[in-house]
Amino acid sequence: MSEFGERLLEDTRKRRTRGEHLRSLVFVLVPFLAILFQVYVPRFFGFLGYLELPLLVTIYFALTRRQPIAGVLFGAAVGIVQDSLSQQLIGMYGIVKTLVGYFAASVSMRFDVENPVLIGILSFFFYFFHQFFYWVLDRALLGHMTVFDPQQTFVYALLNAAVALPLFHLLDKLKART
Amino acid sequence: MESFLNRYRNLTVLLVVVAAQLLLLAWQVKTSQDVRLLRVWTVSTVTPVTRVLEAVRRNTVGLFEDYFALLGVREENQRLHAEVGDLKMQNHFLNAELSTADRVRALAAFQAQSPSKTIAARIIGNGTAANSAEVLVDRGTSHGVEKSMAVVTPDGIVGKVVEAYPMASLVLLTTDPSFAAGVVSQKNRVHGELRGLGHGNCRITEVQNEQKVDVGEWFYTSGYDRIFPRGFPVGQAVVVRNGTEGKEIFLSPSGLQGGLDEVLIVLAGVHQLIPEQAVASSEIHMMAPPPSDHPAPSGPAVELPQAGNTDADRLKSAYKRIGDAQGHVYGEGGPPNFNIKVTGKPPPAAKPARPAAPEPADQGEGEVHLDQPDFTAQEQAGAKAAPTSKPKAQQQKAIPPQPEPPSGGVPRETR
């Protein structure tokens, strides 16, 4: 191989390594920012309290990576971090988001998840599933007599689905850059 | 087996992860222990960032607001509105400074006045749990904060510390459904349990329908929960009605009114007295007693029988005469024969020895509360010592001078 060819190969390798680093950084930074958003922003804009950004980020990464195992681990990690930032027992959000990660990744292997309509439907469905399953776990495992409001959850699911579309588009752009 | 696991690798990983978390949950429930290390790591990662964000927000948000406001104004009239903008900016700045100073001064004054040892803390974030009201504050174990410490403001209680980390703490607000605290009403001294409802108001439970609570009545911490010192304001009853399982009392928590920015964490609580309800006017003007219709003779004092005017007194005298006639001593042996007739006049009903002293004079403030439970008596004593209580000279003024008893009269028996 010529000297020029070797240099070109070296440059390509460096660029790829840098891209992987950036991707890993995004992989950690985006969920962190989502959790930070949930912790900090509703203090000043109470109406944004309905936004479940960690869940949307979990759905996004599970859909784009198309690996159920990655989806499971990602969902579990985000859920456990969320649990740690509250007084509830660790594992509640962990289990729910683990399942969401797994199912979202499984769906992405069968359907074309680039379609915005499908993204909206999946976000809606997974939000509803997330809230309902959390309620079921809360009652069944911990015996808390919490109330599940289907109408309110329906509306919040719609709003989260509406936010998911631009958010996923933004994250797609970010991914393309890295 | 290996091929089976390989074939269902995804499902296996899912089951393993879910099972691990279920086990973790079960372990936490069974042992009532916490995965503290994990929480400390997470909170220590997140709270420094929120702290920085909060500092940046505090320093820049006012500036940006004014800047954006000025952009629109400049289009209309640059010169005039630049001047107004400057003034506005200055005004905003001064107002913000003033309001911050007021708030901090109020907090400091309360801190200095309160006998409890407290530490000021700033709210830096919200908890992430669904359907719960929690906030993160910027004080943790390194500042002496511990789990289950009370969090208050000068307006009332705010919540309690449910988790304490090195640099931050998680506070459960009074509106959270899992929150509970012992409370007592100010006027009727009704004890109950404060419970959050998940929204703006709270509810008082464990109050019987027979107990009296008024709308607008203040509730204070009772101190029995061992978290909140006695005497901190909790809120005012906004709805009071009878229910199936006891009185339904809804309360507006005073500590959470007007938003939260700074709070006080009670490091060492001291029980205080529950302040007395303000009385519109406790001074009573009383006239001197009227003169007697039958002035007593001026001779030597005549001893009158001790019997009173009542039926019970007369019955007692009759029984005494029956007992004396038979030489019977009450309390020893069998009963005497109550059917025999004893001659002799019953003792005359005792005449009032002197003009009756006005009744209220006997029911002075000091006597009214003799039957009260200990803590009330203590509060009365405290209330008298408090600056809001009536001065002693004023109290004496309310009691009219006692007339001199007539020389022939018997001093009236006091309780």
Stretches in chain B below the pLDDT threshold 50? 279-282, 299-305, 307, 346-415
Structure-token pair, residue A96: 């729910």
Angle at B352 between CA B346 and CA B357, to 5 degrees: 155
pLDDT computed for residue B159 by the predictor: 92
**Chain A partners of B42 at a C-beta cutoff of 8 Å?**
81, 84-85
pLDDT computed for residue B126 by the predictor: 82
CB distance B46–A36 less than 8 Å? Answer: yes
CB distance A40–B128 less than 8 Å? Answer: no
B38 touches chain A (CB under 8 A): yes
Roughly what angle, to the nearest 10 degrees, separates helices A68-84 and A53-65?
A: 160
CB distance A42–B126 less than 8 Å? Answer: yes
Q: Is A103 helix (H, G, I), strand (E, B) or coil?
A: helix
**Chain B partners of A76 at a C-beta cutoff of 8 Å?**
17, 21
Please report, to the nearest 10 degrees, the dihedral formed by the alpha carbons of residues B105, B107, B112, B115 taken in order: 160
pLDDT computed for residue A109 by the predictor: 86
CB distance B38–A73 less than 8 Å? Answer: no
B19 touches chain A (CB under 8 A): no
Among the listed residues B242, B130, B122, B251, the one whose alpha carbon sits nearest the alpha carbon of residue B183: B251
**From B14, B43, B124, residue closest to A84, measured CB to CB:** B43
pLDDT computed for residue B286 by the predictor: 67
Structure-token pair, residue B379: 């509060």
Secondary structure (H, E, C), A138-175:
HHHCCCCCCCCCHHHHHHHHHHHHHHHHHHHHHHHHHH
B21 touches chain A (CB under 8 A): yes
Which of A83, A139, A148 to mutate to probe the B interface, most B CBs <10 Å? Answer: A83
B36 touches chain A (CB under 8 A): no
Q: For residues B262 and B121, is the Cβ–Cβ distance under 8 A?
A: yes
**From A39, A92, A142, residue closest to B125, measured CB to CB:** A39
CB distance B9–A35 less than 8 Å? Answer: no
Stretches in chain A below the pLDDT threshold 70? 1, 13-22, 177-178
